[in-house]
Amino acid sequence: MNDFKQFLLRGNVVDLAVGIVVGVAFGALVTAFVKDFITPLIAALVGKPDFSAIQFTINGSVFGLGDFLNSLLSFVLVATAVFFFVVKPINYLMARARKEPPADPTTMKCPDCLSEIPIGARRCAFCTAPLAKPA
């Protein structure tokens, strides 16, 4: 019994369980968003998209093409909603968080000729003007 308890309390099992629970809740949220906002928006623009009546029969077998089209449309709407309302904002936030601070400058401008010279230089390589000692 101790081994089973240790297995259940291992980090991977707990993390997986939390991930599944959050995933199911998130799936319900996205499905509700598509059903309650996106689909009515499409219905307001082009009419209610319902293809369930489309079907054909071959040798007595009924093929429900309309049900498949409804499922395909639902999948496309859910995938679009997830992409534009979850993936794009998360990618933007992650890219913003990853910005590295600018590197320390390695060159400076010569005060006489305005050429780019190394910071540690004591004399300009272009105009040979003496430079102040770097701080």
- Contacts (Cβ under 8 Å, ≥6 apart) of 14: 8
In the chain, domain spans: 2-98, 103-135
pLDDT of 116 reads 92
Q: What is the pTM of this model?
A: 0.51
Give CA–CA dist 67/70, Å, rounded.
5
Give CA–CA dist 46/55, Å, rounded.
22
Q: Which DSSP category does 109 fall into?
A: E
Do 108 and 119 meet the contact criterion of CB atoms below 8 Å apart?
yes
- Which is higher by pLDDT, 47 or 95? 95
- Mean pLDDT value across residues 70-81: 83
